[in-house]
Amino acid sequence: MSENKVPSGIDRIVGQRLRWRRRELKLTQEQLGEELGLTFQQVQKYEKGVNRISAGRLFEMASALTVPITYFYEGVDDLLETVPAMMTVHEADAPPSLPVIDGEAMELVTAFQKIGDASLRRSLLDTIRAAAASFEKSTDS
């Protein structure tokens, strides 16, 4: 496999966003695959970031999931800064570790995205960051 075709951290983030949106719409991998003319295994590989998603396929996915293509890249710069191990993945390397997103975190993200008031969203985010920082300090002691 040539160097430019090896999945990277961006591929994993895009795959995670694909999974979030599919689950938000309560679609199975099989249902999304049928919509896109793919097998559920291929959808699964895209979601895990094992296979890269071409520009054309990403456009089709965005349309099927009713999101702008930019949805898949929102906040990527911040994630790449906080997880520096997310550089190019080589076949022999272990996959880069992403923050684990459990069902409860998915619900939080989904509910947060439904809040239309930018000021309220910012306030909630500040509150959550403060709580997380406080928790980190208490566990370091």
Which domains are delineated in the chain?
A: 3-95 (1.10.260.40), 102-141 (no CATH)
From the list 141, 109, 139, the residue with the least C-alpha distance to 125 is: 109
Lowest mean pLDDT among 55-69, 80-94, 117-131: 80-94
What pLDDT digit, counting tens, does each position of 14-47 carry? Answer: 998 999 899 989 999 999 999 999 999 999 999 9
Q: What is the pTM of this model?
A: 0.59
From the list 37, 42, 113, 101, the residue with the least C-alpha distance to 71 is: 113
Structure tokens at 105: 């975190």
For 66, residues 6+ apart whose C-beta sits below 8 A from its C-beta are 25
pLDDT of res. 86: 40
Amino acid at 14: V
